[in-house]
Amino acid sequence: MWYDLIFRRGDPTNDWQRASGLKLNADLDVPSLLGVPLGGAFDRLSCLGRSSQGDPFSVEYFDLGLCLDRDDNGNLCEFQIVLDDDVGKCKPYPGTVSWEGVSIPLTDLTLDKLPDIFGEWYWLDEDDHEFIAFYEYPNYEMQIECFKDRRVKRFVLCQEPLMAFEDQREAFKVTKAWPPEFPSR
């Protein structure tokens, strides 16, 4: 117990118990994790159990390939699905991911396949280490990080779009107008 008080103070998952037979699923178009949408009550994810590492606002599940953030009101404001962790901290996400009701095959998913699944991205950033495809929607942003060999490594879904900030668009050298024309579905 003293360990929690010293090293995990404020981790909201300290008392959570993992559900037996847990089956992970994420819907990227809603977006939601285990049926909990962005903006939904964070504690509805208690079936995940105690996190590997956490603080009052951010928790990581290394064994599940998940990283979750909550806002000041205790709501889920971001989740990340890790398919391949370049620093070896997280195991690959073992669940399913869907888009518009169709399961996405995560094996061999590459940057080149993203437009066929999600349509044209708002912006594609490339640096010495990775690509990031930014998809913008009225109520959220989806970032898809890829290795230089174009394999998808991570999905990041967040309520507060990084691209909504002018300084971030400048940093990423974005030349498209903001707000974007949102894709119709």
Extract long-range pairs of 119-122: CB within 8 Å, 24+ residues apart.
119/183, 120/183, 122/163, 122/176, 122/180
pLDDT value at residue 5:
44
pLDDT value at residue 70:
96
pLDDT value at residue 184:
56
pLDDT value at residue 47:
98
pLDDT value at residue 3:
53
pTM of model > 0.85: yes
pLDDT value at residue 185:
52
What are the tokens at 29?
């178009």
pLDDT value at residue 88:
83
pLDDT value at residue 79:
98
- pLDDT by residue for the chain (185 residues), tens only, comes to 445 445 556 799 999 999 999 999 999 999 999 999 999 999 999 999 999 999 999 999 999 999 999 999 999 999 999 999 888 889 999 999 999 999 999 999 999 999 999 999 999 999 999 999 999 999 999 999 999 999 999 999 999 999 999 999 999 999 999 999 876 55
Beta-sheet strand order (sheet of 123-126): 53-54, 58-61, 66-70, 76-82, 152-158, 140-147, 130-137, 123-126
